[in-house]
Chain A
Amino acid sequence: MAAKKDLLVSIETAVKEGSEDQAASLCEQALNQGFSPQEIMREGLSKGMHEVGEQYERHELFLPEMLLAAEAMHAGIAACKPFLKSEDEPPERETVVIGVVEGDVHEIGKNMVSVMLEAEGYDVVDLGYDVPAQEFMEKVKAAGAEVLALSTMMTTTLPNMRHTVESANALEPRPLVIVGGAPLSDVVAEDIGASGYEDNAAKVHTLLRNLLD
């Protein structure tokens, strides 16, 4: 039992250290030993990414290290995915559609939020950058998303964010809209009609839990 647990701890460590190859091979090893993909993802990969998020919050590590950890997590997920059966999927996962609004190409912050939400068990539909409002609306409807997460780093694209938020608020059912990015604050978020704002990728999960629960 202890050895089995050690394997999950090693997977967690591989994510924290940003070791892509190690994460993938340890996940394969764990699958061969009979671990379920969910257990590996929850107790190994996500746990590692969660810890990375906390270290980021405490400024003990920074974007480059977080990106490397995300690569390792994704390598592990890729190893596990072929073994996932549809009945294994937890039914309560919420779907988040995420992207950078039209006119803006800065996506690193959005990518970090995307990774952290994935690690926390959300289904994330990432539309990338420079995304028109219409595309966001179509994806929210198609995915039945409970949450729309928008990012922009420029003041010149704030009007596009406002337009996207307004479009989302007019949808039925209405998704929860959260926003982030350099020119934003709680005040700006409220002004453009968003339900929540967060400036730290590692804390977006907490924001969502507070808003959704």
Chain B
Amino acid sequence: MSIYPRIGGRLIRPTTGMIRMGASLFALHGKLGELLPLERVLAAVFFKEPDRVPVTPFFFGGARRFAGISYKDFSLNPEKAAESFLAVTEIVGGDALYSVIDLSVEAADFGQKIIYPDYSTPHPDYSQPLITSPDDYERLETFDPRKSQRMGMVIELSRILSKKAKLTYPVLGFIFGPLGVLVMMRGAQNLFIDCLKYPEKVKTGLEIVTEVLIDYARAQCDVGVDGVALDTLFASQSGISRELWREMEGPYVRRITDEVRRNGALVALHNCGLGPYFDLQIEYMDPVLITFAYLPDDCRDDAELKEKYGRKVALAGYIPTEAICMETPTRIMEIAREQIRALGPGGGFVLCPGCEYPPNQPLINAAAIVRAAEIYGKYPIR
């Protein structure tokens, strides 16, 4: 069930042009009064100044604490996960909902054994990788993500959130990029070496994974998410070279993001690597928004980031994780204020942590992030 009407089984959504026009109207409306979170986010994403800078505390696994459920329940039960995300929004605030569980979701459904710790993020059992040699890539099999356990769970979660959000909150789906999914089944070290030694074998695996991820993107769009975020961690200096990324992931993620757009949803990216390759990712995926943890490899500071990319893509970030763990709420608000001043003018900025809110850390700094947007993020920003 989605808020969008269906004709012939297909969701009828506003076109990007219509959303863009809406963004201008929302910006106008924002000068007169308070906007709804959906209006605020859309105005900002399309480079208009809303009433204030949109914000999200970016809870994934940490959201479970708001509903008092276990990590495993959060990872496997869509109703309980939805309850967690809605509780975060209710208690801490924030302008968006997202169906992000963890990075092991896709690999689990390909058959990778996953460990579900009581108080930490689920992860592959690397003592039993699904892909044990370069010859195993071609043994991966496609399947219908709607009928699989964990991707099916995320699709259902997206459906519940889309229904609950109505026209108040934007809902963002999530997909780990194909290279990331292979890392979960092969281990990063082995995959990186395979990319250099056996690129054709890796590409066979990438083809199979991409086919499933395209279908996964379609399924998330079909239950009504407004956008889908891809995690492209390895398109950064902490991942692989620009040339290798062009060869090993670029063409595959392009197909996934094309599918998202074809289904009427917006494309977003998450990349929390050091020195992310913004230009390359924009070239391949043309996202409307990038959430990031570090400055791109071709920018020295916030001013250059805003100058170079501020009108090409909306920027979402980037309160450092270590600051959230270590600093006081007052200091977090100072950091947020500096970022708002640098990146907020003219719209195109969403305040959030650079990566997932640390799941087991005190929650007070989440409140500080949201409060900073409310206090310092009011437009016009001075």
Chain A bound to chain B? yes
Q: Which residues of A are at the interface with B, using a C-beta cutoff of 8 A?
A: 18, 59, 61-65, 67-68, 71, 103, 105-108, 111, 129, 154-159, 182-185, 187-188, 191
**Interfacial residues of chain B within 346-370, with CB under 8 A of chain A in the complex:** 358-361
* List of B residues within 8 angstroms of A188 by Cβ: 322, 325-326
Task: State the 7 A-B residue pairs at the shortest beta-carbon distance, nearest first.
Answer: A155-B358, A64-B192, A156-B120, A185-B322, A62-B241, A108-B188, A105-B126
* List of A residues within 8 angstroms of B241 by Cβ: 61-62, 64-65
Kindly provide the distance from the CB of A187 to the nearest chain B CB, expressed in whole angstroms: 5
Partner among B120, B195, B361 whose Cβ is within 8 Å of the Cβ of A103: B120
* List of A residues within 8 angstroms of B240 by Cβ: 62-64
Kindly provide the distance from the CB of A154 to the nearest chain B CB, expressed in whole angstroms: 7
Instruction: Number of B interface residues at 8 Å Cβ cutoff, please give it.
Output: 31
Decide: B119 and A156 in contact? CB cutoff 8 A.
yes
A68 in contact with B196 given A154-B120, A155-B360, A183-B321 (CB within 8 Å): yes
Cα distance A129–B320 when bound, in Å?
25
Kindly provide the distance from the CB of A185 to the nearest chain B CB, expressed in whole angstroms: 4
Decide: B192 and A184 in contact? CB cutoff 8 A.
no
* List of A residues within 8 angstroms of B123 by Cβ: 105
Partner among A108, A129, A157 whose Cβ is within 8 Å of the Cβ of B120: A157
Decide: B275 and A184 in contact? CB cutoff 8 A.
no
* List of A residues within 8 angstroms of B360 by Cβ: 155-156, 159
* List of B residues within 8 angstroms of A111 by Cβ: 189
* List of B residues within 8 angstroms of A184 by Cβ: 322
Decide: A155 and B361 in contact? CB cutoff 8 A.
yes
Decide: A64 and B326 in contact? CB cutoff 8 A.
no
Kindly provide the distance from the CB of A38 to the nearest chain B CB, expressed in whole angstroms: 28
- Answer yes or no: B167 CB below 8 A from chain A CBs: no
**Interfacial residues of chain B within 107-165, with CB under 8 A of chain A in the complex:** 117, 119-121, 123-124, 126
* List of B residues within 8 angstroms of A105 by Cβ: 123-124, 126
Q: Which residue of B lies closest to A64 (CB)?
A: B192
Cα distance A93–B321 when bound, in Å?
36
Q: Which residue of B lies closest to A112 (CB)?
A: B189
Question: Which has the most chain A C-beta neighbours within 10 Å: B117, B124, B126, B320?
Answer: B126
* List of B residues within 8 angstroms of A191 by Cβ: 326
Kindly provide the distance from the CB of A145 to the nearest chain B CB, expressed in whole angstroms: 24
Kindly provide the distance from the CB of A160 to the nearest chain B CB, expressed in whole angstroms: 10
Cα distance A103–B360 when bound, in Å?
14
Q: Which residue of A lies closest to B297 (CB)?
A: A59
Cα distance A107–B275 when bound, in Å?
20
- Answer yes or no: B237 CB below 8 A from chain A CBs: yes
Decide: B326 and A154 in contact? CB cutoff 8 A.
no
Cα distance A108–B189 when bound, in Å?
6
Kindly provide the distance from the CB of B107 to the nearest chain A CB, expressed in whole angstroms: 13
16 contacts between A and B (CB under 8 A): A59-B237, A59-B297, A62-B244, A64-B241, A68-B196, A103-B117, A105-B126, A106-B188, A108-B188, A155-B321, A155-B325, A155-B360, A156-B121, A156-B360, A157-B120, A183-B358
* List of A residues within 8 angstroms of B119 by Cβ: 156
Kindly provide the distance from the CB of A20 to the nearest chain B CB, expressed in whole angstroms: 9
Kindly provide the distance from the CB of A73 to the nearest chain B CB, expressed in whole angstroms: 14
Cα distance A184–B275 when bound, in Å?
17
A129 in contact with B126 given A67-B189, A108-B188 (CB within 8 Å): yes
Q: Which residue of A lies closest to B183 (CB)?
A: A108
Q: Which residue of A lies closest to B123 (CB)?
A: A105
Question: Which has the most chain A C-beta neighbours within 10 Å: B240, B244, B325?
Answer: B325
* List of A residues within 8 angstroms of B239 by Cβ: 62-63
Kindly provide the distance from the CB of A103 to the nearest chain B CB, expressed in whole angstroms: 6
Cα distance A158–B195 when bound, in Å?
31
Q: Which residue of B lies closest to A56 (CB)?
A: B237
A64 in contact with B321 given A59-B275, A129-B126, A155-B358 (CB within 8 Å): no
- Answer yes or no: B21 CB below 8 A from chain A CBs: no
* List of A residues within 8 angstroms of B120 by Cβ: 103, 154, 156-157
Q: Which residue of B lies closest to A156 (CB)?
A: B120
* List of B residues within 8 angstroms of A59 by Cβ: 237, 275, 297
Beyond the given pairs A155-B361, A183-B321, 14 more chain A to chain B contacts, judged by CB atoms under 8 angstroms and listed by A's residue number, are: A59-B237, A62-B239, A62-B244, A63-B238, A67-B192, A71-B193, A103-B120, A154-B121, A155-B321, A155-B325, A155-B359, A155-B360, A158-B325, A187-B326
